[in-house]
Each structure stands twice: as C-alpha cells, then as structure tokens.
Structure 1
Amino acid sequence: MLVGGGVALLFAAVALVLSAFQQNLVFFHTPTEVSEGKAPTGKTFRIGGMVEDGSIAREADGITVRFAITDTAKVIPVTYKGTLPDLFKEGKGAVVQGKLEGGVFRATEVLAKHDENYMPPEAAHAVEQAQKAAQTVSQ
C-alpha cells in the first residue's frame, strides 16, 4: 500500500509539472501565419519580424505605443503599454509576445535586437521565409 501511495504521488507531481509547462509554453508565428489565421486565438504567442518603417506612434498617455511588425509579405498592427527597449527602432528586428485581439496584436513584452548585426533567430527566419515566398510568386 505504501508503494502504491508513493507511485500515485509521483504521478500527481509529474502531472502538475507538465500542466505548468503547458501553460507557460509560448509558440512563435510569422506575420504571414497570423494573417492566414494559423495563430491561436485567445492564447499568448510571439510574432517576429521587422518593425515597419514609419509605423511607430506614441499615444497621448505617454506609455502606449502603436507600431507594426512585418515579414515583408504581411503586416500586423501591434499595441504595447510600457517602456520599449533602447534598441527598438523602425526597420530593425523585433519579437513581440502577447495576444491577438480584434485584428490587433496586444503585446505584453517587446524584445529587440542586440547589436548592429544581430536579429532574433525567429525574426530572421520569418523575414527569410517571406522573401523566398515573394520570389517564388514573382517568378
């Protein structure tokens, strides 16, 4: 009976760990995948790409920022309340985490590139895939 109780406790602990892991799992999607409806609705995920030139606009409250993320094929509008990283700029790589609500991505976290030559791997891959798709269509 003692061994059976120990096994039951072990299974319960494993179930709790797996449940916590599943709740904290965040998937990455490109702007093209989001616009095609492949991103989860009502769940947190990440979008990566380039900050579209001319898209950064600050609201009157001083903490809300609107901008757009693009993979050169599709553009997703983003709103974010908070302080942006110092390296966040138009035309540079970024990854944003949050939820899609009514066609606008409500970001809870913004990650920017680290130096002149670095782009987050997810953002670089998204841009590369969009450029390949655009070349295939134009041929």
Structure 2
Amino acid sequence: MKGLKKQRRIQIIVLAFLAMGASFAAFYLAAPDALQYFRAPSEVVESPPGPNETFRIGGLVEEGSLVRGQGAEITFRVTDGGAAIPVRYEGVLPDLFGEGEGVVATGRLVDGTFVATEILAKHDETYMPKEVIDALKEQGVYVDPNAGPATN
C-alpha cells in the first residue's frame, strides 16, 4: 500500500511540472512581445540588435532634438548621457512627453534609427522607470527620482 502512495505522489509531481512547462510555453508562444528586453542607448550603440528584434529603449529626450514633421510624425533623440539614439515615431504622444523628460519606447532599430511603435512617458512629475534611472546612473548622470528631469 505504501508503494502505491509513493508512486501516486511521484506521478502528481511529474504531472505538475509538465503542466507548468506547458503553461510557460503557451504564454511564451502567445505573447512573445510581452517579454521585451529594456536597453539604454549606450547598450544599443555597443551591441546593436538585429533588424527584426523588437525591444524597449529608455532614457531622456535630448534637449533640442524634438522635431515635429508632417502630420503625426515626430523625431527626437533618446540619451542616457553616454550615447544618443535617433527615434522616429508616428502617432499621438502622451501629454507629459517633452524634452528633458524620461521616456521608454518600444520598436525596432532600422538603419541606425529607432522606429517606435509605442511611446511611454512618465505618468507624473516625479516618476521615472527604475531601469531608466539605473542606466542614467551608470553613465554618470545624477538622477533624483523625486525631482523630475535628470541633470549633469
């Protein structure tokens, strides 16, 4: 009788691991863009991603780089203090988007320009994503998360 209980427990444990593996595989295949990697501009310059790789880039909108084109096209540069990447976006920007403000963009690198499909700006006057703060600090840019835009 004890051997049967032990065998049943092992079967349940193996079945649970198989179910967890199948769940993870289903999630990964159904939502590959949900697992995007965040990169700072310096990282993108050091090791550019492939042309088909969707990723997120974050930093500050470089002062003096925001240019509004025809229609809804906008170009600007995202910087982390060490490097700057040109960004092109077509669409409506968040209300709090502006020069010197924190931004995270989702898209692809095409011929040295980041073509964004989504732009996220900080949602209040003091918020900046932790990853952006860490990347800016690595570049020697002082960031006080409670004081708004970063300063050198």
Pair 1:104 & 2:109 matched: no
Give me the whole-angstrom Cα distance separating, in 1, the residues matched to 2:51 and 2:136. 23
Q: Choose which of 39, 52, 55 in structure 2 pairs with 1:42.
A: 52
Pair 1:55–1:20, CA change in 2 (3 A): same
Displacement after TM superposition at 1:40 (Å): 4.3
> Gaps spanning 5+ residues in structure 2: where?
1-14, 142-152
| Aligned with 1:127 (options 116, 136, 141) | 136
How far apart in 2 are the matches of 1:118 and 1:12?
36
Q: Is the 8 Å Cα contact of residues 92 and 113 (structure 1) preserved in structure 2?
A: yes
Q: 1:90 offset after TM fit, Å?
A: 0.2
> Residues 39-72 of structure 1: CA distance to partner in whole angstroms, max 9, x if unpaired?
3442110011000000000112x20000000001
| TM-score scaled by length of structure 2 | 0.73
Deviation at 1:125, TM superposition (A): 1.4
Figure out how many residues of one structure are paired with residues of the other and give that number: 124
Identity over aligned pairs, percent: 46
- Structure 1: how far apart are the matches of 2:37 and 2:21? 26
Judged with a 3 Å threshold, the aligned counterparts in structure 2 of structure 1 residues 70 and 11 are, in CA distance, closer, same or farther, namely: closer
The alignment status of 1:115 with 2:124, answered yes or no, reads yes
**What TM-score do the two structures reach when normalised by structure 1?**
0.79
Secondary structure of the structure 1 residue equivalent to 2:107: strand
- In the other structure, the counterpart of 1:90 is 99
Structure 1: stretches of 5+ with no match in the other structure: 1-6, 133-139
Residue 27, structure 1, aligned to residue 33, structure 2? no
**SS at 1:111's partner residue?**
strand
The 2-side partners of 1:23 and 1:128 are apart by 27
2:140 match: secondary structure:
helix
Cα RMSD between the aligned structures? 2.2
Aligned twin of 1:137: none
